[in-house]
Chains A and B, each alone.
Chain A
Amino acid sequence: MAYPHEHPRETRVLSKYFGDKDAVGIDGWIERGGYKTLDKAFGMSRDEVIEVVKDSGLRGRGGAGFPAGLKWSFMPKNGDRPNYLACNADESEPGTFKDREIMRWTPHQLIEGIIICSYAINAEHAYIYIRGEFVDVVRVLNGAVVEAYERGYLGKNIRGSGFDLDLTVHLGAGAYIAGEETGLLNSLEGRRAEPRVKPPFPAQRGAFGMPTTVNNVETLAAVPGIVENGADWYRQWGTEKSPGTKLFSCCGHLRRPGNYEVPLDFNLKDLVFDICGGPPEGREMMAVIPGGSSVPILTVDELDCEVSYEGIEAAGSFLGSGGLIAMDDSTCMVHAVRKMVDFYAHESCGQCTNCREGTAWLAKILRRIEHGQGREEDIPLLLDIGSNMAGKTICPLSDSAAVPVVSSIQKFKDEYLAHIRDGSCTAVR
């Protein structure tokens, strides 16, 4: 099974049942082995569950890559305050659409992961913070949550374990920054989704002031397999520092865009040219953004690397969320960067001056270059603004907005100069 395309070089672990309509409902999911890991998890101590996730090396799939088991271990043990789990289903990074497919095809895989994580961190209530734009996905997820309650996988005394868990689907209402974990917590509390200063970290003071773990959908969906089969099973894929498989959302100028799952030691160039089929016929690939619009652009010559966290970093970018954006030679790089910066300017929450002002000015300057009204001094000006936006704000949105600008000037300066000097564009129409 596959959706929307499949490729023999994939390793389908999380996405095994994408495209399989019968796997969506709870009966079909149980027939496929779903929920059987719960009994195993409840037979283990909370620390044993955390230990196996730690040993597996599973890293957070939302973008930062923080080790999931380690994050869980920060939760207080035997505290007298309630603990919470917030599942980050805001999936707002442009270029990323993997969590959407996990929830659309295998919602129970996520719910099972949420139950196991909640047990491990002793959470009494889990919230799925899902972006409001996911209309059809919310319908599927809601149906699955109700099914899980009806079958006793949620609620009081789950499977006779004595463990109680409530799960609530909480809809966002359109804000990129609600995908930042502390922005998410503020939004969950009925506030503007403005990120918080850390520390305190969510494990100390998260939702409603209580200890909270925030995990991405893909991270939690990977948990049942790890608990069922063990850390070594998970480590059969990937590298020492980046174990396991990962979903890559591939979009832009590709013959076969879509979600593909590969082990983390897979080659990036093979992902782009073999699995995704490379650029449309008659086009040359120009650049690839490997991990969502917040990570540096790679030229086509920089793609021969491993897709692991460390492999892509060595190539000059980041794995991020695994949102791969491909651009062929028909792309006007200045226009593409301007579109990405427009997004960040729109989504800046406005708390920090460097971000609020910086994103707006980057967008304004890029727009005038795009339309042939730029000046040569605009290039150092863009770099100067960019350097004043990086590492100087509460959250990384500001850094993210500067990244495509700085990396495109480094690698595609001629495109900027063509717009500035001749009012022309190097894109092949």
Chain B
Amino acid sequence: MSDGMHPAIVSAQPSQRAEMNPDAPLFEAEYQDRFEKILSRYPNKRAALLPTLNLAQELRGWLSPETMTRVAELLDLTAAYVRSVASFYTMFATRQVGKYLIQVCAGIGCDLCGAEGVVERLLELTNTRLGETSADGKYTVMEVECLGGCGFATVVQVNDQVYEDIKAEDVEGLLKGMD
């Protein structure tokens, strides 16, 4: 499409990103364009809430209370309502995370194949505790519920990148790839 992203696919991945500007304006330039395209795909503004939160999170890296209030204004919803929805979904980040958010699948498929060992090794090598960000702001290791790749255990997601078949002994190499 000559005018940017096709409106059918304009929703963003709800990824958490530490390097994004948490004070970036909501929404300007191409982000304004994408926001309007989101609105065009639903019969009412409320239905645009999840895609709009995704877009805000892509832009600002996480959803601060101020961000959620601004989204509420844009969609004619109350701030309390937006926070009640955002807090329901695990991928909406209501706190900031490290540069590399490392999410390890804790589902039954990965657990049977050694996910706990992967988590232990990650915590050891990043010198962090589960869910906490390392002192240098680089790593946050989290256990998450099933990532939907049970046959390729253990599944590890680093920011927007998915890694399959990770064993405890692969962790060192995985971390080396993160500068």
CA–CA, A4 to B152, complex, Å?
9
Indicate which residue in B1, B51, B54, B88 contacts A146 across the interface (CB closer than 8 Å). Answer: B1
B51: chain A residues at CB < 8 Å are 170-171
Given contacts A166-B41, A169-B11, contact A336 B108 (CB under 8 A): yes
Contact B8 A169 (CB under 8 A): yes
9 closest Cβ pairs, A-B complex:
A190-B49, A174-B90, A251-B150, A174-B91, A173-B89, A142-B9, A251-B109, A190-B46, A257-B151
B151 near A135: Cβ-Cβ < 8 Å: no
Which residue from A154, A166, A187 sits with its C-beta under 8 Å from B50? A187
On chain A, the residues within 8 Å of B153 by CB distance are 251, 257
Say yes or no: is B78 at the interface (Cβ < 8 Å to chain A).
Answer: no
A113 at the interface (CB under 8 A from B): no
* B124-158 interface code vs A (CB 8 A; 1 in, 0 out): 00000000000000000000111111111100010
Contact present for B88 and A192 (CB under 8 Å): yes
Picked from B7, B50, B111, the residue with its CB within 8 Å of the CB of A339 is B111
26 inter-chain pairs at a CB distance below 8 angstroms, sorted by A residue, are A100-B148, A132-B14, A135-B15, A142-B8, A142-B9, A145-B6, A146-B1, A146-B9, A168-B41, A170-B50, A173-B90, A175-B88, A191-B46, A249-B150, A249-B151, A250-B151, A251-B151, A257-B150, A257-B153, A323-B150, A331-B112, A336-B112, A339-B107, A343-B108, A347-B145, A349-B88
B18 within 8 Å of A (CB atoms):
no
Q: Are A193 and B88 in contact (CB under 8 A)?
A: yes
Q: Does A133 make an interface contact (CB < 8 A)?
A: yes
B149 and A336: CB pair below 8 A? no
Which residues of the other chain, B, contact A175 by a CB distance below 8 angstroms? 88-90
Contacts of A188 in B (CB 8 A): 47
Total count of chain A residues near the partner, CB < 8 A: 62
**Known A-B contacts A135-B157, A173-B54, A249-B151; A325 and B108 likewise in contact (beta carbons under 8 Å):** yes
Shortest A358–chain B CB gap in Å is: 18
Q: Does residue A303 face the partner (Cβ distance < 8 Å to B)?
A: no
What residues of A have a CB within 8 angstroms of the CB of B43 in the complex?
A: 82, 208
Q: Which residue of B lies closest to A343 (CB)?
A: B145
A19 to chain B: closest CB distance in Å?
Answer: 14
Bound Cα distance from A170 to B90, whole angstroms: 16
Does any Cβ of A come within 8 Å of B13's Cβ?
A: yes
In the assembly, what is the distance between CA of A125 and CA of B146, in Å? 30
Q: Mark A304-348, 1 if CB is under 8 A from B, else 0.
A: 000000000000000000010101000100001001101100110
Assess whether A232 is interfacial by the CB under 8 Å rule: no
Tell me if B113 counts as interface (CB < 8 A to partner A): yes
In the assembled complex, A258 has its CB within 8 A of some CB on chain B? yes
Q: Does A122 contact B (CB under 8 A)?
A: no
B148 contacts A134, CB within 8 Å?
A: yes
**Given A173-B14, A190-B49, CB of A94 within 8 Å of CB of B88:** no
Query: For residue A173, which residues in chain B have a CB less than 8 angstroms away from its CB?
Result: 14, 50, 53-54, 89-92
Whether, in the assembled complex, A108 has its beta carbon less than 8 Å from a beta carbon of chain B, the answer is: no
A216 lies within 8 A of chain B by Cβ: no
Residues in chain A near residue B148, CB distance under 8 A:
91-92, 96-97, 100, 131, 133-134
Known: A190-B50, A190-B75, A252-B109. 9 other contacts (CB 8 A): A95-B107, A133-B157, A135-B157, A146-B8, A170-B11, A175-B90, A176-B146, A251-B153, A336-B111
* Given known A-B contacts A135-B160, A173-B14, A188-B47, A97 and B150 have beta carbons under 8 A apart: yes
Residue from B7, B14, B109 in contact with A325 in the complex, judged by beta carbons closer than 8 Å: B109
A122-138 contacts to B (CB < 8 Å): 125, 131-136, 138
With A171-B50, A173-B14, A188-B47 as given contacts, are A133 and B92 in contact (CB-CB < 8 Å)?
no
Chain B min CB distance to A428 (Å) = 14
Interface residue? A293 (CB, 8 A): yes
From B12, B42, B112, B157, name the one whose CB has the most chain A CB atoms within 10 angstroms.
B112
Complex contacts, A191 vs chain B, CB 8 Å: 46, 85
Complex CA gap A362/B54 in Å reads: 34
Note all chain A residues with C-beta closer than 8 A to B85: 190-192
